[in-house]
């Protein structure tokens, strides 16, 4: 017997197709960009508990070092979905 799957957004049982992000399941129409409000059907960024289309988050926002808070230029280290300057991670 298949396990029942519930939408993280509306909490309703999902009977059709769904998608998974960060371990949560969503009706396709409920996985929305926190900036523009449209459904996300491809790649996404997560920031401050929100999900965003890549085009809806500025380049500088996605390249901020989690340690020092400054923009990252050049080599980026990623650990647990957080970005760091090479020197800040060491």
CA distance 76 to 79: 10
pLDDT of residue 62: 65
Per residue of the chain (90 residues), give pLDDT as tens.
Answer: 568 999 999 999 999 999 998 889 999 999 999 889 999 988 888 887 888 887 887 655 667 888 888 877 777 788 888 888 888 876
- Does the global pTM surpass 0.85? no
Residue 82 to residue 64: CA distance in whole angstroms = 9
Characterize 40-66 residue by residue with b for buried, 16 or more Cβ atoms within 10 angstroms of its Cβ, and e for exposed. beeebbeeeeebbbeebbeeeeeebbb
Compute the distance between CA of residue 66 and CA of residue 72 in angstroms, rounded to an integer.
10
> Locate tokens 């491809």: which residue?
42
């Amino acid at each position: 017997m298949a396990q029942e799957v519930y939408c993280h957004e509306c909490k309703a049982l999902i009977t059709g197709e769904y998608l998974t992000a960060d371990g949560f399941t969503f009706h396709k129409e409920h996985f929305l960009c926190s900036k523009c409000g449209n459904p996300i059907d491809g790649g996404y960024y997560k920031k401050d508990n929100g999900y965003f289309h890549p085009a809806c988050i500025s380049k500088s926002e996605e390249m901020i070092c989690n340690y020092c808070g400054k923009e990252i230029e050049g080599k980026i280290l990623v650990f647990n979905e957080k970005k760091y300057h090479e020197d800040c991670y060491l």
